[in-house]
Amino acid sequence: MKTLSENKCFGGTQGVYRHSSKACQCDMTFAVFLPEEAVSGPVPVLWYLSGLTCTHENAMVKAGA
């Protein structure tokens, strides 16, 4: 897995990462927001799965983040 970017925002870190998918046979990009509390322990997860024509940026753009 490769880190493409990490930026501080809203009291946490917004990261974009790329991994190689054996199932899809290509590189795939995803974004994760980690609140500050994630450094010291588990935090709840909210999965946001976009449609086929969307990218990892979709949730950030739609949320106005």
pLDDT tens digit string along 27-57?
A: 999 999 999 999 999 999 988 877 778 888 8
Cβ contacts of 4 within 8 Å, gap of 6 or more: 16, 17, 18, 29
Q: Measured at the alpha carbon of residue 14, what is the angle toward residues 45 and 16, in degrees to the nearest 5?
A: 95
Token pair, residue 19, equals 């991994």
Choose among 50, 7, 8: nearest CA to 29.
50
Report the chain's mean pLDDT, rounded to a whole number.
Answer: 89
User: pTM value?
Assistant: 0.78
